[in-house]
Amino acid sequence: MAYQPEDLTDLETVVLGVLSVGLPPSRAAGSSTFRVDHVTAVVNGLLREGRRDAFLRADGVSVSSDFRDTLRKSIETLADKGLVAFQPTGMPAAAGGFEAGLDIDVVDPDIHPALLDRYLGQLCMERLFNVPDVYPYLMERYSASGEVWRRLRQGGYAS
């Protein structure tokens, strides 16, 4: 079945959109704010509550336990639909899939699934970019991700 953004829950749309941003491994970026669960929590908080921290713990970085459970269920549903795949623990973390040669960060399969439907992911990302409260945050993550990937490649990653 071919899915469209309208066929997804709001959180499923956020997950696919965030996976399409191209986040680098958080360890390589030097910040847990690049983790898929963190970015998803912030975007979901902006969409649902109008606040970045709505689904974060007091430290402003870790996601709340309730949100983590909801996120896992959403990822399981997306996996059942064939839109994402769980990555085996210990494999390199890369945006939307695997890239050989990256040993800087490893996958937590509950948090960083591989995106299988890149077209749908792009549609979801565009929807997120069209939300005025979300755009500045997500664009900043997108831009910062590009800088980290550039630094990694200059350092010999994936050569």
Residue-wise pLDDT tens digits, 55-109: 999 999 999 999 999 998 999 999 999 999 877 655 555 444 434 444 334 444 3
Residues 16-28: pLDDT tens digits? 999 999 888 787 7
Whether 114 has a pLDDT exceeding 60, the answer reads yes
DSSP 134: T
Q: Which residues contact 36 (CB under 8 A, 6 or more apart)?
A: 15, 18, 19, 23, 111, 112
Residues 44-56: pLDDT tens digits? 999 999 999 999 9
d(CA 91, CA 2): 28
Whether 11 has a pLDDT exceeding 90, the answer reads yes
For the residues 113-142, what does the mean pLDDT come to? 95
The number of residues making up the chain comes to: 159
